[in-house]
Amino acid sequence: MEIHFLGAAETVTGSKYFLKSQQHQFLVDCGLFQGIKKLRQLNWQYLPLEIKKLEAIFLTHGHLDHVGYLPKLVKMGFKGYIFGTEPTLKIAEIILLDSAKIQEEEAAQANKEGYSKHSPAEPLYTIDDAKEAIAMFKSVPEGEWIDYSSEARFRFLTVGHIIGACSVQLELENKKLVFSGDIGRDDDLLMFAPKKPDSADILFVESTYGDRLHKEENVEQVLTDLVLKTVKENGTLIIPSFAVERAQTIMYLLWKLSEEGTIPKIPMFLDSPMGAGVLKVFEKYEEWHKLDKMEVYKMVESFHVVQEYRETWEVIDMEGPKVVIAGSGMLTGGRVLTYLKQLLKKDSTNVLLVGYQAEGTRGRYLLEGAKEIKIYGKYIPVNASIYSCNSLSAHGDQEDILNWMNKIKDAPEKVFIVHGEVKAADEMRRKIKDVYGWTATIPELYQIVEV
C-alpha cells in the first residue's frame, strides 16, 4: 500500500492524504492550501493522482483547509463518494459555497480594478462546481464501523475541535490507519472532549500547536477589557473569526458578559454569511455540543446578524461603539477585509485575533506587528491596536494532542507528524519519542511512503 502526502506536510494547510492499495484508492481530506503565495499557487497545479480511479474521500471535518479543494477535484473528474458525519457535511456545504462565492467576487473585482497579473483573473472554482461536489456527499453516523467492501471498512470518532469533527479510522489491507484530523481541546467551552483510539498500525497526528501549550488566559477578562476600551474610545472592536465554533464561542462569551452586566449593552454584529449558516447547524445538532437550545436562542438574539453586503457599510458608518465578529479568521478573505480596509487606519479601532494565524496570512502579519497590510491591491496603514488570545483556539495544544494518543496500547508501526509548520512538527516528534517511545517521521510534500 502507498501513502501519498499531497498536503499538510511541513505546513498546516491543504490536508490531503492519498491511499493506494491493491484493491482501493482513497483520499482522506481534500483541503485548500492557504497562507504564503508559494502554498496558494499549489491549488492551481496538477494534482499527482489519477482522479477517475479515486473511489472515495473521507472528511475529518468541514474547515476550508480540509474540504476546500473538493470542487476543483470534481471539476477534474472525480465521481465517487464523499463521506463525513452529517454536521461535517452541513458545515462543508456552507464553507464551499462561501469559498466559491468569494473566489468569483474577487476574480470579478480583480478584473474590474486591474490588480491581477492574470488577464482575465479566474476563480479556482465556481458556485456551480461547489454544488456538484456537495451533491456527492454521503453522511455516516459517528462511532459505527461501516463496511466499504470486503477488504475495507471505516469509522468516524468525534475529536472535538468543531461541530461534526472526527478522527478517521480506516482498515485496509489488514492494517488499521488512524488519521487524527484536527484534535480539539479536552476542556473546550462548546465541544465535548475528543474520543481516543485504542489501537493503530499507521498513525497520522496533527501538530498545529505541537510546540506549545495554550496560555492560561482569562478570556472573559480579555473581552471585557477590550469592550470597555472600545466604549471609552467610541470605536470599533473587530474580531476576525472562523465561522465554525470560534464565532459561536465568542458570541456565547459576549452574550454572557452582557447578561451579567459585566460589559455594557452596545451593538454587537455577526457579519459572516457562513457564521449565520453555522448557527443553524448548532441549533439542529445540539447533541454535538454543550449548549442547550435556550442558550443558543438567547445568544443569537443578542447579536444582529448581517445578511446583505450593503449592511456591512451601514455598520462601518454607524456612530458609537460597537463589536463586529466577521470572517475570515486569518484575514484571507471575506467581509472582515471590508472593515479592515476602512477602519485599520483609525486609532480608535481594536482588533482581536482569536485563532491560529498561518504563515503568510494577513492575520500573521498583524500578529507580528506589521505597519501596513495589503487588501484588494492596496496597502492599508495599521493604526489600530492589535491583540491576540490563543485561549479561544479550537485546536488542542501539545498536551491535548499527546493525551489523545494515551489509550493506544501497542506502538504503531509508523507514526507520521502532519498538519504543522516545521518547528511545531519537529517538537511534536520529539515529545512523542519522550512520552511514548515511538519513532515518528515528518513527511515532505508529495512524498510517497510504502507500507
Query: Going from the N-terminus, what domains does the chain have, and what CATH number goes with each?
Result: 2-212+394-450 (3.60.15.10), 219-392 (3.40.50.10890)
> Which residue positions in the chain have pLDDT lower than 50?
none
Q: According to the model, what pLDDT value does residue 217 have?
A: 86
Q: What per-residue confidence (pLDDT) applies to 242?
A: 82
The per-residue b/e assignment along 153-192, b for 16 or more CB within 10 angstroms, e otherwise, is ebbbbbbbbbbbbbbbbbbbeebbbbbbbbbbbeebbbbe
- Residue 184: the pLDDT is 96
Angstrom distance (rounded) from CA 386 to CA 408: 42
Per-residue pLDDT at 148: 97
pLDDT at 334: 84
Compute the distance between CA of residue 268 and CA of residue 336 in angstroms, rounded to an integer. 14
Give the SS3 label for residue 347: coil
- In the chain, count H helices and then E strands: 14, 22
| Global pTM value | 0.88
What pLDDT does 377 receive?
87
Phi, psi of 442 (to 5 degrees): -110, 105
pLDDT of residue 448: 98
